Amino acid sequence: MPLIPPEALPHFENQIYLPMLLIILERDRLAFEKGPFKLKRPYLAMIAEAEKLVQKDLKESRLYMRRHSMKVIKGNHDDMFTEYVFIHGGYEDHRRYLNVRLRNRSEELLGVYLAMGDRAV
């Protein structure tokens, strides 16, 4: 039996990626508010809706993790890798993520949430 059950892995990774997305969306919202855009409202509405969706998914993952006594701790990082410690059932699973992979996956998820937000607007 694996240390981390397959159904728990998405929740662990949500704790990595979704907080990053909230930071990115916040910065983008500020850029649109301060930028020279003529029609800001559609962009701001799409970003606001994406933020709501990310927050909802993050909340669901936090609840799941709390119910299953799971935790993520950010470990060491350098120019190439960032380490995360996944704690579940008394076990620690140390995982190293390429920083390029973190960036690319964040960009991919950003596109997904913006598209979902765009449909809701």
pLDDT tens track for 56-73? 999 999 999 999 999 999
Tell me the CA distances in angstroms from 117 to 45, 65, 99, one per residue in order: 8, 25, 26
pLDDT for the residue 2: 62
Model confidence over 40-50: pLDDT tens digits? 999 999 999 99
108 has a pLDDT exceeding 70: yes
| Confidence (pTM) | 0.90
